[in-house]
Amino acid sequence: MYGAVANDAVTVGSAERVQTGTAGIEERIAELLGQMTLAEKVGQMCQVNVGDSYIHDYLAEALKAGRVGSVLNEVSVDVVNELQRLAVEESRLGIPLLVGRDVIHGFRTVMPIPFAQAASWNPGVVRDGARVAAAEARRSGVNWTFAPMIDIARDPRWGRIAESLGEDPYLASVLGSAMVEGFQGDNLSGPGAIAACGKHFVGYGAAESGRDYATTNVPENEMRNVYLRPFGAAVDAGVATLMTSFSDIDGVPATANRRLVRDVLRGEWGFDGFVVSDWDSIRQLCIHGLTADDEGAAFEAARAGVDMEMHGDAYANHLERLVEAGRIDPGIIDTAAGNILRIKFRLGLFDNPYTDPDNVPNPLDAANTAKQAALESAVLLTNEHDVLPLDRGRLASLAVVGPLADAPRDQLGTWIFDGDPNLSITPLAAIETLLGDDVSIRHVPALATTRSRDVSGFDDAVSAAAAADAVLLFLGEEAILSGEAHSRADIGLPGAQAELVRQVREAGKPVVAVIMAGRPLTLANVVDNVDAILFTGHPGTMGGPAIADLVFGRASPAGKLPATFPRMVGQVPIYYAQKNTGKPPTPETVVMIDDIDPGADQLSTGLTAYHLDAGYTPLFAFGHGLSYTSFCYENIRCSRTELRLGNSLTISAELTNTGERAAVEVAQLYVRDLVGSVTRPVRELKGFCRVHLEPGESKTVEFALHTDDLAFYGRDNGYAAEPGEFYAWIGGSSAAELMTAFRIVE
């Protein structure tokens, strides 16, 4: 499927992937492996959950015996140092521990959820957020995080889309690599660095119906051209570890998938870090029905190339016996233990296993970094009659309505085990601080939670709206509605929120909706009842000040959607990079019911199939995002219209700020390969850049495009660009209309 299966026993190390001190590290690994017993090697492959700030006797004994290679979920630095002491000073060989924790989008200071960070389209924002998180985690003794999650997510029903970087492999590759760089720094052994872990290898985001843990069926061509790409980019960025997916992939669960791990990851990409299972996913091979018992599960996972077992005990209970019985080559164990030791050496743990919080620097101001991330992650979806920004000088009173206006925990989002809600500044608090006594503010939650259907508080909300000059509605999903095992079949606003919007609208005042959510939502039933929609995701610790600055014009929104927002859930999946059909719709062939606009004026978006009751366009396209100014793209051109394989061209356009405010625009380049040995998407993102423009200012935006950037896996599974004709668009979203063309010749 993916090529020839690599040998079970793989040589420790790789001369081609040399880092500083690699040769010395490989010698030290070989020397240490020569001293280790089989039990000690297997011990390196075992991870134990701690997490209760107490070292049980059984764990202490296991550490002294060298039977534990990693612990997770302990964030007391004193306990971590004692665990390290037991491993380093009381075991025979003194091998230090990896200390893992889910540091997904912050530690104490919480950044916006990764899906929201992706809306910044700014690798610097993602990198800085990870740098802050790494430093805060490192002070607690954590030296390994299970991030970034670089699964391509094209079904917003899936709860873990909140952790993702969106639907596009190019954007996820760029931002995922930036997150790796932020966590790991310039030197993995630096005082504020922690090892990153790209997850979930691979295809987890394609779970059927968006149901977490469900089966995934990903064709080989799509696997290589879409789902594998961000992982390849992370490996190129030097990611220390990768984690296998929970899911079944075409009949072989990822944790037992030798072709993916041994052939693609090790053989093709030369990855020399280590691979960890997801939580207890080795023993779950039995539940999948791939193996009859835990011994069979340990056998399949180890032969597949999974170096470490997270939390379960299949390796601890069965690997030694499998080797002694001759079922597993001892070289597999040596390779796995060596891969783990390599990362420990690169982290500098053998030289300095203990954590002194005072020696971990503050790379950036955490609060300001979080605020900047929240500012750049917000996406202005609609802004009728330029209702935003609100003019403080013309406001005497303001109604702040909704269950998320003052919800410090919920604004942090999912996966924030160590996040401190006491550090959160909510929108209500930030607005009160910004406006002071100049504006009368009335706050009405109206609903106890976003899920509530109790409308008894609506009368107060409507009364507040009627008495105010403007209404800010804070709506969306509370944090518990997204994340792992939190998938939704209906992705509209939960509870009675849509009815709240309708009733508040009847007060006749300008209504601005601020949507906090962990996924794209179907907003067709509320979009016409509000004057503006600002989508913030779950914006993190400093979400309130960022929202206040945006609403009142102290900053202009520049975020762009990292995933398509459908009109209704029945359109899912409706990602922008679809394939064409043999019968694409035209204005003459589209038939609609229920008097819904078919979107015939948007045929250039390339969305190629449709439903009678929804049309073929989404509510908001991938890459969409408005500003408080307006931008005009003109004069697209190619530096050459024909180029040979192996050469480059430049595609450029003139971008002008035609409005009255300075702002940033994210200019985007899309390309279509019209004819290929396999069918190609109607559009693919190939580049983007952030451009700051003063009012009336123009700049030329340029994108260099090499023929290698147009390569793909073809019918014979070879990776190459193919001669032929290409279209290219530059604009502010995937619906860009400014187009040119060029041709590749042999």
Tell me if 508 sits within 8 A of 469, measured CB to CB: no
Query: What residues pair up with 370 in beta bridges, in sequence order?
Result: none
Give ∠ CA 489-491-492 in degrees, rounded to 5. 130
Tokens 């983007």, located at residue: 688
Pairing of strands 642-644, 631-638: unpaired
DSSP character string of 411-472:
GG-SS-TT--GGG---HHHHHHHHHTTSSEEEEE--SSSTT----TTHHHHHHHHHHSSEEE
Query: What residues pair up with 70 in beta bridges, in sequence order?
Result: 47, 98
How many residues in total does the chain contain? Answer: 746
Return d(Cα 162, Cα 480) in angstroms, integer. 11
Region of 674 please: left (phi>0), alpha (psi -120 to 50) or beta. Answer: alpha
Q: What is the C-alpha radius of gyration for the chain, rounded to an integer number of angstroms?
A: 26
Distance between terminal CA atoms of the chain?
29
With DSSP H G I counted as helix, E B as strand and the rest as coil, what are the percentages for the chain, rounded to 5? 35, 20, 45
Return d(Cα 115, Cα 158) in angstroms, integer. 12
Return d(Cα 536, Cα 519) in angstroms, integer. 10
Of the candidates 713, 655, 419, the one whose C-alpha atom is nearest the C-alpha of residue 540 is: 419
pLDDT at 592: 66
Low-confidence ranges of the chain (pLDDT < 50): 1-20, 596, 598-607
Name the CATH code of domain 631-745 (choices 3.30.950.10, 1.10.3720.10, 2.60.40.10, 3.40.390.30): 2.60.40.10
Tell me if 265 sits within 8 A of 14, measured CB to CB: no
Task: Write out the H or E segment, with its range, that includes residue 34.
Answer: helix 22-35
pTM, whole model, 2 decimals? Answer: 0.95
Token pair of 326, please?
A: 């001759």
Token pair of 125, please?
A: 């924002």
Architecture of the domain whose range is 375-551: 3-Layer(aba) Sandwich (3.40)
Q: Look at the alpha carbons of 278, 413, 373, 572 in this order and tell me if their dihedral is positive or negative.
A: positive
Residues of 247-280 as b/e, b for ≥16 C-beta within 10 angstroms?
Answer: bbbeebbbbbbbbbbbbbbbbbbebbbbbbbbbb
Return d(Cα 703, Cα 674) in angstroms, integer. 20
Return d(Cα 486, Cα 499) in angstroms, integer. 24
Q: Mind spelling out the 3-state secondary structure of 538-578? A: CCCCCHHHHHHHHHCCCCCCCCCCCCCECCCHHHCCCCCCC
Tell me if 663 sits within 8 A of 696, measured CB to CB: no
Return d(Cα 606, Cα 602) in angstroms, integer. 8
Give catalytic residue positions.
278
Return d(Cα 366, Cα 108) in angstroms, integer. 9
Return d(Cα 442, Cα 265) in angstroms, integer. 56
- Kindly give the residue spans of alpha helices, DSSP state H, lying in 36-109: 38-44, 57-64, 77-89
DSSP character string of 645-666:
TT-EEEEEEEEEE-SSS-EEEE
Region of 139 please: left (phi>0), alpha (psi -120 to 50) or beta. Answer: alpha
* 22-359 placed in CATH 3.20.20.300: yes
123-132 pLDDT per residue, tens: 999 999 999 9
Task: Write out the H or E segment, with its range, that includes residue 30.
Answer: helix 22-35
Q: What residues have CB less than 8 Å from 729, skipping those under 6 apart?
A: 636, 669, 670, 671, 683, 736, 737, 738, 739
**Lateral strand order in the sheet of 631-638:** 631-638, 648-657, 698-706
Domain positions in the chain: 22-359, 375-551, 631-745
Of the candidates 93, 11, 463, 461, the one whose C-alpha atom is nearest the C-alpha of residue 270 is: 11
